[in-house]
Amino acid sequence: MIEKGNAPYFTIEALHGDKYSIEGLAKYVPGVSGTAIKFDGFSSFIEGVPELFTKDEEIIDDLSNEISVEAWVALGAYPWNWAPIISLGRFGITGFYFGINSRGCVGFHISDGTNIWHECNSPINEKTKVGLELKKWYHVVGTYSKKKGMTVYVNGQLQATYNNFTFDYGLVFSELEKGFRMGMNREKLAPTDPVRTWATFPSRYTLDGIVDEIKIYKKALSAEEVKKLYQGVAPENEPEFAPRKFPTVKSSHRFGANYTTLKYYPEWDTLWPVGDQLDVVVQFDELPIKVMFWRGTRYSPCWVSENGKWMADQSRETGNNWFLSQGSSDLLPTGCIEHMSDTQCRSSRVAIIENNDARVVVNWRYLQMDVRFRQRDLPDHSGFGEWGNELYFIYPDGVGVRKVLPGRGGWQETIALNEPGTRPEDNLKLKAITLFNMNGQKKTYSWEDGYPQFDLPDANIQLVNLKSKFKPFLILRKGGGFEVFNLEVRPEYSHFPWWNHWPIAQIHSDGRYAFAPDRASHSSLSWGIPNGDAALYGMTDRPDKILVPLARSWNNPPALQLRTQNILNQGYDYTERAYKLKAANRNIQQINFTLQGSDNSPVFNPAFVIYNLTTDGLTLFVNDVPVTSKKKVRFGLEYDVEATPRVIVWSQIFSTKPVEFKIVRKSN
């Protein structure tokens, strides 16, 4: 049963009526019988002191000689390290600990007063490399006796034994005044499987799962008794876990950006003390793709395919205290200094700057920090630290420019995201990357026999072969190129690098290897070497037709030749993928110009930003033909802080020959 006082919630132990407090974001869900407690994986635990501990010393004496612990448990994900079903005493020092580790193994641990922590752990499955499977009920039992040692049972079957005791002291307890603790360790533990132990720190986490029917016996149950206990209960309910799918929104069938709060799964969503306008989603009326700026990725924008495959990238990244060369990692910012470390989005923010029919502009600003939210006092010792600031100019054809403002550190790393339940191979083809150059040559590279070596000359165009119809691409300026991400690959787990410290996770680690698809994870494929402060991003289902012409149009933009007075040609801005013009006054009735298209400089869906002009009555003519389709030409209007207007014109046209443009204002 559950009660609530002023705070917190309480549950009542059935046999003796003792109160146990429920802390954090735990909740009751259907159990194997009646209700069970669901720990959220982040915040929740139960603790309390039985009255028997203060009134009956014989109970402790009995438990010191023989004890058994029984429970039913179902996991939503594997713990980051050991997490208790129930424990008493100090982890690794005194008392007992009945829990589950990061591989899903059940462990019963005790101290016998010899400064040795004795562990009896169930094995992993050599094929799956984990113990318990996820989202299934398991009956688990741990026993200890002076005579027979320790045992662990799962679903009535003996899984492990241990009897390596030098003395027969029995269990030694301490801190009984703190009582039992369920769900969360009293001392933080560092996540297992770190890439860099010196950049991985003790972290707060809990059991991510459901626990029911916890019982403690003051005797060591026999194998037959354990089997009968297991067979005596038929779970009445399936474990209740909501799907853990990356967020999505129903298509609006319009081009534009919206603020929203994206949903992941209830336990993670509940962590965030937020309103309804926290994330940003960009959608397209002609394409089934999206661009997601989500707090789960610390707002690193992701291109999302029609079937929900996510492509991410890096922020600006520097590093500090490599191999502890500068002192203690407890005292200095340590490891990777980047957006991934900002697990609570303390500084990472997004804002919609422009949102019109012709263009969306989103700003992403973030503090580069380590996993303990610490910053370096660089570059100017002002106390502000290293910041990144980026603008995303996104057009209706599903092409966006990432403009990275001046700062410190590299900023391009091609990263595929894997939602829970999927491995990198579920989202990426083994022939994962196709490179192109602007001469029209291309080559595809496979990870099947290990990571490849990129060798296509002058390749500045990259296509990622997700298992989707629409695939993400990246185009760099001439002189830029790509290198294979050739670090931290473990062939026994995946063909690709595979980590789960990002996205989603709240642990303090800048690198944690994944070994099971229980959590959101990511895989890096390549590093880009940009030549300049911008790159083109997008998704396409026609890479062979559009990528080389698009790259040429951006790298070698057709010259714009004005044929109208009172208009200033301010040139092509590659960081916006737009031609800039300025009208001498707002009363101009007509603007004429030619784009000198050619094979090497094609006209490809050009955009024009015209300052000091409004959209009232405007019509676009292409080669003297009015463009009447609202999907072939789009006008946007923005004003600056001084109310100076600017018109954004986007036109859907491809040509390798000169094209005449005329923008005419209809007379009243």
Residues 378 and 459 in one domain: yes
Residue 11 lies in a domain: yes
> Which residue matches tokens 């950049």?
199
Q: Which of 550, 569, 601 lies at the terminal end of a domain, its last residue?
A: 550
39: its two tokens: 């720990």
Residues 321 and 225 in one domain: no
Range of the domain at 140: 2-231
pLDDT value for 60: 74
Residue 237 lies in a domain: no
Residue 574 lies in a domain: yes
**Closest C-alpha among 484, 477, 405, 490 to residue 438:** 477
Low-confidence ranges of the chain (pLDDT < 70): 1-8, 54-58, 668
pLDDT value for 1: 37
Q: Are 608 and 579 in contact (CB under 8 A)?
A: yes
Residues 506 and 560 in one domain: no
Q: In Å, how far are 214, 271, 551, 656, 660 from 210, measured between CA atoms?
A: 11, 18, 52, 63, 67
Residue 161 lies in a domain: yes
Please provide the distance, in angstroms rounded to a whole number, between the alpha carbons at the two ends of the chain: 76
Burial class (CB in 10 A: 0-12, 13-18, 19+), 310: buried
72-108 as b/e: b if 16+ CB within 10 A? bbbbbbbbbbbbbbbbbbbbeebbbbbbbbbbbbbbb
Residues 16 and 80 in one domain: yes
Q: Are 645 and 638 in contact (CB under 8 A)?
A: yes
Residues 466 and 602 in one domain: no
pLDDT value for 98: 98
Residues 462 and 592 in one domain: no
CA atoms in the 13 A half-sphere facing the CB of 552: 22
Residue 12 lies in a domain: yes
Residue 238 lies in a domain: no
Residues 222 and 264 in one domain: no
Round the average pLDDT of the chain to a whole number and report it.
Answer: 95
CA atoms in the 13 A half-sphere facing the CB of 477: 14
Q: Which of 197, 231, 265 lies at the terminal end of a domain, its last residue?
A: 231
Residues in Cβ contact with 318 at an 8 Å cutoff, skipping those fewer than 6 apart:
337, 338, 368, 376, 378, 386, 408, 409
| Residue 331 Cα to chain centre, angstroms | 27
Residue 247 lies in a domain: no
pLDDT value for 6: 45
Q: Are 302 and 312 in contact (CB under 8 A)?
A: yes
**CA-CA distance, 502 to 314, in Å (whole number)?**
11
> Which CATH number covers residue 64?
2.60.120.200
Residues 141 and 178 in one domain: yes
Residues 425 and 297 in one domain: yes
Residue 281 lies in a domain: yes
> Which CATH number covers residue 598?
2.60.40
pTM: 0.95
**Closest C-alpha among 72, 69, 25 to residue 45:** 25
Residues 518 and 642 in one domain: no
350: its two tokens: 């997004």
Residues 382 and 521 in one domain: yes
pLDDT value for 4: 43
Residues 603 and 654 in one domain: yes
Instruction: Provide the domain count of the chain.
Output: 3
Q: Which of 163, 196, 231 lies at the terminal end of a domain, its last residue?
A: 231
Q: In Å, how far are 66, 163, 216 from 62, measured between CA atoms?
A: 6, 19, 12
pLDDT value for 52: 73
